[in-house]
Structure 1
Amino acid sequence: MYTSSDICGVNPIAALPFTAQGELDYTSFDRMLGHLAATGIQGLTLFGIASEFPKLEDSERLRLADQFIASLSGTGVFRAMSVTDHSTEVAVKRARDYQKRGADALMLLPPFFLQPDAAAISHHIFSVLEAVDIPVMVQYAPGETGLAITPEQLGEVAARYPHAVFKIECNPPVDYTREFLKRAPQASVLNGYAGLYMLEMLAAGGKGVMPGCSFSEIYVQIYHLWQTGKQQEAQALHGKLLPWIRRWMTHCEYIIQVEKTILYKRGIISTEYCRHPGWTLTAEDSEAIDTFIMEFSL
C-alpha cells in the first residue's frame, strides 16, 4: 500500500482518446497506458482537468476506472484517480468506490460551483480524507476554479491528515509553496501547470510534477537529472521546453488539444479528437507541434 511519501516524481494526467465521432476509444486508451508505463513515470492520474473529466458520462467514467486499474496493474506505476464531484456526499461515495476498485491514490478537486464558503470547502476536503486511507492529493488550482485557499488552510489539512498530499498549481506557485511548507514541513507537494515551475518547485521542497502525458519522457529526463545532482543539465533541458509549454498553457483547452494532437502524431492514439466545447488548432499550431516532436526526438 502506498503512503503519502511514495507519491512523488513524474505523475502525468492521463489524456482520454476519442474516436472521430467523439466516442471513447478504449483500444487507444489501453495502448496509451502501456506506452506511458514504459516511459519511466512514477505515477499516472486519471480524471484530472487534462482528462476532460466534465465531458464524461458516469458509465464511461466507471469503465475507464476499471480499465485504468487493470492495465497498469503490475507496472510499478502508482494509479491515482481524481474525485471531482461538487457534492460532498457524492465525493465521499466516489472516493470509497475508487479505493475499492484498486486505486493507489486519489486526487481531490475542492468544490467551487456557486462559490461555497471556507467552512463548506474544509468540510468537503476533510470528509473525503476521512473516507479513505490511501493517499489523497488535495488540488489547489485557483486559475481554473476561481477558488482561493490560503497556505494556512492547507496547513490545517496537512496537520490533521498525514495521508494528504498537495497539488499546488496557483500561478506562480513557488512563494505559496514556501509559505505552506513553513507551516507544514512534513507535507508532500506536487506541482501541475504543465511543469512550468518544475525545477523551482523541486528547489522549494516539492516532491514531483503532474504535467500532461503526451511528452512524459521529457519530464522524466528532467526529474532524473535533478535527482542525480545534474542541476545544470536539468535546467538546460527544462529551459529548452519552457517556450513551448508557456505558449500552450495560455489556455487550458489549448494545451489539452495540443497534448492530444501530439499523442496522435506520435502514433500513440488513433485520433486527436477532443469533446466539445474545445479548442481549434491553427495550421501554424500544427506545424509547431511537428517541429516540437522533431526537436525533442519524440
Structure 2
Amino acid sequence: MTDAAELIRGVSPVLEVPFHDDGSLDEPGFARVVDHVLGCGVSSVMFPGYASEFLKLTSDERDRLNTVLLDRTRSRDDVAAVVAVQDHATRLAADHARRLVDAGADAVNLLPPYQLGPSVRDIHEHVETVAAAVPETPIVVQYAPEQTGTALDAASIAAIAAERPNVRMVKVESTPPGPFIADLARQDPVLPAMVGYAGVQLPDALRRGAVGVQPGCSFTELYVDVWELYAAGDEKAAFDLHRQFLPYISYWMLGSELIVAAEKLISQRRGLFRSAYCRAPAHRLDAEEVAMVDRFLAEFADRLPDLS
C-alpha cells in the first residue's frame, strides 16, 4: 500500500468551492474542479481549507463535497485526499477524523483549536487525541499563527509526533515560513513541512527543507511547472518562473478573502465553472483587481489553457 504521507509532497492544491450567482452550492462545478486538479499531475489535494471558504459552508455541504472528492480518490493509489478537521471541540474533532477516514480520506489536515484562547496544554491534548483516534492515518498539523494565533512551536509538535507517530507533517503558514521549516527539520523526529500562504516564500522554503507547497488551485499548472523544474535540478528556471508570478500572488495574499476572490475569478475566466461568486462577507474585486487577473491570464496563457 502506498504511504499517503509520501504522496503529500510536491504540489498539493487546496480545492476551491464554486457557488451559483445566488450563493447556492455549485456541486457539479466542484466536481469539475476536482477532476481538473487531479488531472494536473499532482499526487494529493486538500479540502476544505481557507481557499475553500470552509467557514462559509454548512456541515451538510462539507459532507456532500467530501463525498464528491473521495468518490474520485478512494480507489486510487497514486493520489491522496487530505481532508481537513477544523472542529474546535476535541471530542468532535476526533469523531470527525474517524468518520472521514472511514469514508476514504487518506490523510487528515488538522487545524488546532484557536477560538477563545485555549491553553497550550489543551492544544497539545487536542492534537494528540485526534491523532490517537486515527492511528494508522497520517496527520498534517496546520500551523497558521497569522490566522489563528495558535500557540505551537516546532519542539512541541515534535514531542507530540514522538508520542503519536502518525503526526507526519506540518503545513507552515507563518510569515516568513522559512525559519519555522528549518526548525522542524532540526527536531527528533524530523517533521517534513509543506509551505502554504500561496507559496509566496516558496524558494526560501525549499532551500530550508520544505517538501512541497499547498496553494490554491486555480492555476495549479504554474505551481506544477515550478515544482517539476525544481525536482529536475533546474533551480534557476524554477525560481525564475516563480519570480514571474510572484508580484501577483504577493498582492493577492495581502488578504485571505482577496486571494479567494482572485482565484475564483481566474477559474471562472478559464471556464472551469460559471460564477466567481464568494459568499459574504467577502472581498469584492475592484476594476483594477479584475484587470490584474486578466493581465495574469494573458501573461501565462501558454501555461493556463482555457478549460471551457
Distance in 1, Cα, partners of 2:254 & 2:172: 18
Residues 21-75 of structure 1 show CA distances to partners (whole Å, capped at 9, x for unaligned) of 1111011111111111111112111111111111111111111111111134456
Distance 2:133 2:189 in 1: 24
Corresponding residue for residue 104 of structure 1: 106
SS in 1 for 2:237: helix
Kept after mapping to 1: 8 A contact 2:200/2:250: yes
Normalising by structure 2, what TM-score? 0.94
Please tell me the residue identity of whatever aligns with 1:109.
L
Deviations 1:119-148 (A, max 9, x none): 000000000111112111100000111223
Normalised by the length of structure 1, the TM-score is: 0.97
Alpha carbons 2:80, 2:107 under 8 Å: kept? yes
Distance 1:56 1:21 in 2: 15
Question: Counterpart of 2:165 in structure 1: which amino acid?
Answer: P
**CA deviation profile, 1:195-252 (whole Å, cap 9, x unmatched):** 1121221221111100000000000010111111000100100111111110000010
Match of 1:60 in 2: 61
Q: Runs ≥4 in structure 1, deviation > 6 angstroms?
A: none
The whole-number CA distance in structure 2 between the counterparts of 1:108 and 1:208 is: 18
Asked if 2 retains the 8 angstrom alpha-carbon contact of 1:4 and 1:162, the reply is: no
Match of 1:13 in 2: 14
| Structure 1 SS opposite 2:46 | strand
Residue pair 2:170, 2:192 contacting (<8 A) in 1 also? yes
Q: Deviations over 1:159-202 (max 9, x none)?
A: 22332211111000111111221113632211100011212212
- Verify the 8 A CA contact 2:74 2:104 in the aligned structure 1: no
Query: Is 2:161 the partner of 1:163?
Result: no
1:276 maps onto 2:277 in alignment: no
Mapped contact 1:33–1:72 kept (Cα < 8 A): no
What is the SS of the residue equivalent to 1:81? strand
Aligned to 2:83: 81
Letter of the 2:124 partner, please give it: S
RMSD: 1.3
Amino acid at match of 2:139: V
Aligned partner of 2:115 in structure 1 is 113
Aligned with 2:170: secondary structure? strand
Residue of structure 2 equivalent to 1:146: 149
Q: Is the 8 A contact 1:45 1:81 kept in 2?
A: yes
Contact 1:110 1:138 in 2 (8 A): yes
Tell me how far apart the structure 2 counterparts of residues 230 and 240 of structure 1 sit (CA, whole Å): 16
Percent identity, aligned pairs only, is 37
Residue 116 of structure 2 aligns with an amino acid whose one-letter code is L
CA contact (8 A) 1:181 1:187 kept: yes
Kindly indicate whether the alpha-carbon contact (under 8 Å) linking 2:11 and 2:213 is maintained by their aligned counterparts in 1.
yes
Shift of 1:82: 0.4
Which of the pair has the greater relative contact order for Cα pairs under 8 Å at 6+ separation? 1
Stretch moving more, 30-39 or 149-158: 149-158
Q: Distance in 2 between matches of 1:185 and 1:131?
A: 21
SS in 1 for 2:109: strand
Question: Aligned letter for 1:220?
Answer: V
Correspondence for 2:23: 22
